[in-house]
A and B are shown apart, each in its own frame.
Chain A
Amino acid sequence: MAIATARVSAFEEPPVRTVRRGAALWAVIRRKPLGLTSAAVLVLFVLTAVFADVLAPYDPLATQPEIRLSPPSQSHLFGTDDIGRDVLSRVVHGSRISLWVGLLAVGIGTGAGMIIGLLCGYCEGRLDLLVQRLMDAIQAIPGLILALAIVSVLKPSTTNAMLAIAIVIIPGNSRIVRGAVLSAKQNRYVEAAQAIGCRHPRIITSHILPNVTAPILIIASIWFGNAILIEATLSFLGLGTQPPTPSWGLMLSSTGRAFMEQAPWLAIFPGLAISLAVLGFNLFGDTLRDAWDPKLRRQG
Chain B
Amino acid sequence: MYKYVIRRLLFALPVLLLSSLIVFGLMRVMPGDALVALMGESGNVGQRELAKLRTDLGLDRPYHEQYLIWVWQMVSLNPGDSIFTNEPIAVALKKSIPVTLELATLAMVLGLVIAIPIGVLSATRQDTPSDYVGRVVAVSGLSLPDFWLGTLVITFAAIWFHWIPPIGYVSFWESPWRNLQQFLLPAAVLGFRLSAATMRMTRSTVLEVLREDYVRTAWAKGLERRIVVYKHALKNALIPVVTIVGGQMATLLAGAVVVETIFALPGMGRLTVEAILFRDYPVVQTNVMLVAATLVTLNLLVDLTYAWLDPRIRYR
Contacts and interface: CB of A to CB of B under 8 A. Distances in A.
B142 interface: yes
A268 to B, nearest CB: 8
Interface string A257-300: 10011001001100100110011001100100000000000011
A261 B15 contact: no
Contact of B291 (A145, A236, A257): A145
User: In this complex, which of A152, A253, A286 has the most chain B Cβ atoms within 10 angstroms of its Cβ?
Assistant: A152
Contacts of A299: 204, 207-208
B interface, by DSSP: helix, strand, loop or mixed?
helix
Contacts of A214: none
A149 B261 CA distance: 16
Interface string B194-234: 00000000011001100000000000000000000000000
B55 to A, nearest CB: 23
Contacts of B142: 278, 282
A155 B27 CA distance: 13
A142 B148 contact: no
B112 interface: no
Contacts of A136: 15, 18
Contact of A264 (B23, B155, B288): B155
A interface, by DSSP: helix, strand, loop or mixed?
helix
A142 B291 contact: yes
B138 to A, nearest CB: 10
B145 A133 contact: no
Contacts of A286: 139
A140 B292 contact: yes
A275 B139 CA distance: 10
Given A152-B279, A300-B126, A144 B145 contact: no
Q: Which of the four size classes fits the interface of chain B? A: 35 or more
Interface of A: 133-134, 136-138, 140-146, 148-153, 225, 229, 232-233, 236-239, 249, 252-253, 256-257, 260-261, 264, 267-268, 271, 274-275, 278-279, 282-283, 286, 299-300
A146 B23 CA distance: 9
Given A238-B277, A300-B207, A141 B151 contact: no
Contact of B250 (A142, A152, A268): A142
B167 interface: no
Nearest to A296: B204
11 contacts: A136-B18, A137-B19, A141-B23, A142-B251, A142-B253, A146-B288, A232-B145, A237-B261, A260-B155, A274-B145, A278-B142
Nearest to A257: B151
Interface string B19-35: 10111001101100000
B295 A229 contact: no
A278 B257 contact: no
Name the 6 nearest CB pairs between A and B, nearest first: A137-B18, A271-B148, A144-B254, A279-B143, A142-B250, A152-B276
A148 B151 contact: no
B38 to A, nearest CB: 14
A232 B204 CA distance: 30
B162 to A, nearest CB: 11
Contacts of A278: 142-143, 145
Contacts of A236: 145, 147, 258
Nearest to B30: A153
Given A136-B18, A299-B204, A252 B148 contact: yes
User: In this complex, which of A141, A232, A236, A279 has the most chain B Cβ atoms within 10 angstroms of its Cβ?
Assistant: A141
A133 B15 contact: yes
Nearest to A232: B145
A287 to B, nearest CB: 11
Contacts of B158: 261
Contact of A256 (B126, B151, B277, B295): B151
Contacts of B155: 260-261, 264, 267
A143 B254 contact: yes
Contacts of A275: 140, 143-145, 148
B159 interface: yes
Contacts of A249: 145, 147
